[in-house]
Amino acid sequence: MSVIELYDTTLRDGAQTEGISYSVQDKLRITEKLDALGLHTIEGGWPLNPKDAQFFRQARQLRLTARLAAFGSTRRAATPAADPNLKSLLAAETKIVTIFGKSWDLHVRDVLNISLDNNLRVIEDSVAFLKKRGRTVVYDAEHFFDGYKDNAAYALKTLQAAVAGGAQTLVLCDTNGGSLPTEITAIIHTAKRAVWVPLGIHTHNDSELAVANAIAAVQAGCRQVQGTINGYGERCGNANLVSVIAILKVKLGINCLPDAKLKELTEVSRYVAELSNMAQHANQPFVGAAAFAHKGGVHVNAVLKNPRTYEHLEPAMVGNERKILVSELSGRSSLVFKAKDLALDLSKNTPQAKRLLKLLQNLEHRGYHFEAAEGSLELLLKRQLKQFAPFFTLEGFRIIMEKRDHRLVSEATVKLHVNGVREQTVAEGDGPVNALDNAIRKALNRFYPALAQMHLTDFKVRVLDEKAGTAAKVRVLIQSQDPHESWGTVGVSENIIEASWQALVDSIEYKLLKDQKTEGRGQKSVKIRKTKALPRSS
């Protein structure tokens, strides 16, 4: 099969996701990332929008291999030359212009309020206007599949009108996302007999079939696939271009990207998620953090012997990695694998391994959750295996909350021992946990200046037994980050402050332990002063 064109619309269709709002700088950075991945066409937005117009002006300074496309609609004015939308597309100065028009007679009558014949003229002369001015025109046949199901003859006439105007690619859109792969395949075969220009596909995920429909369309003969990174888009989203690329390349052997670029998919997915201010779904196929995570003891045992037993491809092919989770459902294989990963000496068939597994199962029964708290898990294992010396020891803490000048203020006092020195500090915060965090950092900063590089990025509280009311146990999960990585820690207690303290202490001790390991490998790091091995009191 010939090369498939990858057409990305993250910056336009993806930007319509609830909660996403790209700045011009965001769009420029994403454009460069997608270009580096090797995508063929990047749709930059609708230049009738002032922000998108600014993007196109600034994008002219980028050195891109990919082609930029400006997006708009067929004319609304009486003539193309008088239409502000078409004029803005020309002003964007992109070689490729993509415009959409109505393929569904329902929309022509009820939305445009014009005759069916008039709509055909609108399509043809809008395309011709852009074509005559040197643009390569991609025509998006909006609602094509729904239109075909209602009035097949008319839907095909709209494609023929676009071809008469000079469109060089016709993109068939499942705009409402309600079509099935079998319908997509059959309708594309009919469309191919009605027009001679290359076809493309644009699918939405309202029936959770966007990727399946896109793949079916390629197998039916479409040569361009439109989609968005991570499946961003209005309502339920668009076809996830990350998954589409992986399936085309790995499963179908279609040359849509160079082999070396496939390994960048995970990085690109996470990069776009970060700039979109969206958490990447852990279970996202191919690139999610849990895409190759194994938890059940039987699964883990098999995967450690042969990964093919429970993995459909090698994670490294798409830049991801295998994760072996340790939990109450895990067997000793998971525990031994994790210990080995931490350079700890632990054999599967030993009383020590049995004891540790029983401990983990008991802790998870009490409410601990180590899948999202690998920092706490590593500390727990090293403490139990006598491979950890505490960096400080808590003597006690106190929290005071009061209302001052119509503002609620929290104050924390922390008493602890570091290097045989007793430290007592007081700090305020926006809440009791924030005050505790500030106080403990204040006490430790002169001993461990590397803590200045660390900050908390997420704080989650879950009530474990709602029926117990205010006496219920709570689980606190904290996510922390420094310039190099992020890590999770956990605490459980009937008292939310105590649970938070446990997670806070683990987050700080994990940071110090991580830096200590880095220093031990002879790498450049912030110097850390060691403390005496005092017993942990909390």
Confidence of residue 520 (pLDDT cuts 50, 70, 90): low
Q: Across residues 56-78, what is the average pLDDT? A: 96
Task: Tell me the sheet residues that pair with 199.
Answer: 170
Domain membership flag for residue 162: yes
The range of the structural domain enclosing residue 497 comes to 393-520
Q: Is 425 exposed, middle or buried (0-12, 13-18, 19+ CB in 10 A)?
A: middle
Decide which of 138 and 361 is more confident. Answer: 138
pLDDT in tens, 459-497: 888 887 766 566 678 889 888 888 888 888 999 998 889
Answer yes or no: is 230 within a domain: yes
Whether residue 339 is contained in a domain is answered as no
The mean pLDDT of 156-176, rounded to a whole number, is: 98
Q: What is the sign, positive or negative, of the torsion defined by CA atoms of 227, 228, 232, 233?
A: negative
Domain boundary residue among 200, 222, 257? 257
User: Is 244 in contact with 230 (CB distance < 8 Å)?
Assistant: no
DSSP 3-state assignment of 16?
Answer: helix
Residue 65 · residue 95 · CB < 8 Å? no
Q: What is the predicted pLDDT for the residue at 82?
A: 96
Q: Specify if 275 maps to a domain.
A: no
Nearest to 215 by CA among 176, 253, 178: 253
Q: What is the CATH number of the domain that holds 160?
A: 3.20.20.70
pLDDT digits (tens, 9 = 90+) for 284-309: 999 998 898 777 667 777 877 888 89
The whole-number pLDDT of residue 523 equals 42
> Do 135 and 93 contact (CB within 8 A), yes or no?
no
pLDDT digits (tens, 9 = 90+) for 380-432: 888 888 878 889 988 889 999 888 777 888 999 999 999 889 999 999 988 88
- Which uninterrupted H or E stretch holds 164? helix 152-165
Looking at residue 335, its pLDDT comes to 66
Global pTM?
Answer: 0.71
| Token pair 């117009």 in the structure block, residue | 53
Residues 436/497, Cβ–Cβ less than 8 Å: yes
Question: What residues have CB less than 8 Å from 79, skipping those under 6 apart?
Answer: 125
Could you tell me what percent of the chain has a pLDDT over 90?
61
CATH of the domain at 474: 3.30.160.270
> Taking residues 263-290, what's their average pLDDT?
89
Output the pLDDT for position 384: 84
Cα atoms in the 13 Å half-sphere on the side-chain side of 449:
4
Mean pLDDT along residues 356-361: 76
pLDDT on residue 269 = 94
How many structural domains comprise the chain? Answer: 2
Task: Judge whether 295 lies within some domain.
Answer: no
Would you state the structure tokens that stand for residue 16, as one six-digit string? 């319509």
Tell me, what's the pLDDT at 528? 34
Is 46:19 a contact under the CB 8 Å cutoff? no
CA angle 154, 158, 164 (to 5 degrees): 135
In a domain? residue 486: yes
257, 288, 304: which is the final residue of a domain? Answer: 257
Q: Is the pLDDT of residue 526 over 60?
A: no
Q: Is residue 17 part of a domain?
A: yes
Mean pLDDT, range 430-436, rounded to an integer: 88
Question: Token pair of 73, please?
Answer: 């609609």
Q: Which of 99-103, 216-220, 223-227, 313-317 has the lowest mean pLDDT?
A: 313-317
**What is the Cα Rg of the chain in Å?**
29
Q: How far apart are CA 59 and CA 63, in angstroms?
A: 9
Cβ neighbours of residue 446 closer than 8 Å, sequence gap 6 or more: none
pLDDT in tens, 215-250: 999 999 999 999 999 999 999 999 999 999 999 999
Q: Is residue 449 part of a domain?
A: yes
How far from each other are the two terminal CA atoms of the chain, in whole angstroms? Answer: 64
C-alpha count within 13 angstroms, C-beta hemisphere, residue 363: 21
Whole-number pLDDT of residue 332: 57
Q: Which of 12-16, 402-406, 456-460 has the highest mean pLDDT?
A: 12-16
More confident residue, 99 or 524: 99
Per-range mean pLDDT, top range of 84-98, 255-269, 298-312, 409-423: 84-98
Of 226, 257, 288, which residue constitutes the final position of a domain?
257
Q: Check whether 521 has a pLDDT greater than 70.
A: no
Least confident of 23-27, 67-71, 384-388: 384-388
